Amino acid sequence: MAVEALPEVATVHWRPRANAARLRTSGRLWTLTTVAHVVPFLAAAGALLALQPITLPVAFVCVAHAWIIPALYAQRGANVVRPRPRGDGAAERTALGLLADRVGHDARELHARTGLVPEPGRLGTWLVGEAGALLVTDRGRRVFCWCVRVNDPELPSADRIAHLLLALRADEEGFATVANLAFSGAPWRVRRRLSKTMRPALEAGAVAESSRGDHRSFTPA
């Protein structure tokens, strides 16, 4: 079915439109980048120790770098769904009612527990937050972290999610084109950096993605 492109895509006209093949390539590049950050530092640490054991402190710093740099990238990924301060209680309740009408029971329940709304898509399983979204792909073995938001910080949390959800449902690839990719890698790298309340959402996304036939269970009948 032909999908009309999101109008927001015009604001990032220089970007190639996202699709499954481009996402796979992007994911591989992220993995290569991680390897390129880790391997030289570990090799340097090993070489230093082999050549001169007294360089142990320097080797230790190298190993620390090999650990810290990928960790910072993963933290950047987890930050896209970090909860924002909540505003007026009445507005939040009103917005939540509208959002709840747009999603199925399972999604409502997961949102209540974790703050993220699951949404099955053609690219993978999305977990939509207030100012970002996680996309679980490759049967639950990879997560993409997207920074994307509605341009009004005063909106209630549920409304911010509903804005993103509607845009995602209208044009999934356009949504991924407009959003900024903050991280891609193994879900466990992001999971440990999410708040404890959000972790079940990522786990549920990975489970849904690993059994793609069950995707539609998140969507209202």
Number of residues that bind another protein (CB under 8 A): 52
Six-digit token pair at 149? 């938001």
Q: What is the distance between the alpha carbons of residues 159 and 164, in angstroms, rounded to a whole number?
A: 9
Residue 88 Cα to chain centre, angstroms: 27
Question: Which member of 27, 124, 132, 205 binds another protein (CB under 8 A)?
Answer: 132
DSSP state of 221: -
Nearest to 165 by CA among 217, 112, 101: 101
CB of 159 within 8 A of CB of 99? yes
Question: Which member of 26, 31, 94, 210 binds another protein (CB under 8 A)?
Answer: 94
Question: Which member of 163, 189, 191, 193 binds another protein (CB under 8 A)?
Answer: 163
Q: Is 135 helix (H, G, I), strand (E, B) or coil?
A: strand
Q: Which residue lies nearer to another protein by CB, 55 or 121?
A: 121
- Decide: is 4 part of the binding site for another protein (CB under 8 A): yes
Nearest to 44 by CA among 28, 67, 61, 27: 61
User: Restricting to residues 99-118, which ones interact with another protein according to CB under 8 A?
Assistant: 102, 104
Q: Which residue lies nearer to another protein by CB, 40 or 93?
A: 93
Q: Which stretch binds another protein (CB under 8 A): 41-49, 53-61, 94-102, 134-142?
A: 94-102
Six-digit token pair at 218? 């998140």
Binding site for another protein (CB under 8 A): 4, 6-8, 11-12, 80, 87-88, 90-98, 102, 104, 119-121, 131-132, 146-152, 154-156, 158-159, 162-164, 166-167, 169-170, 175, 178-180, 216, 219-221
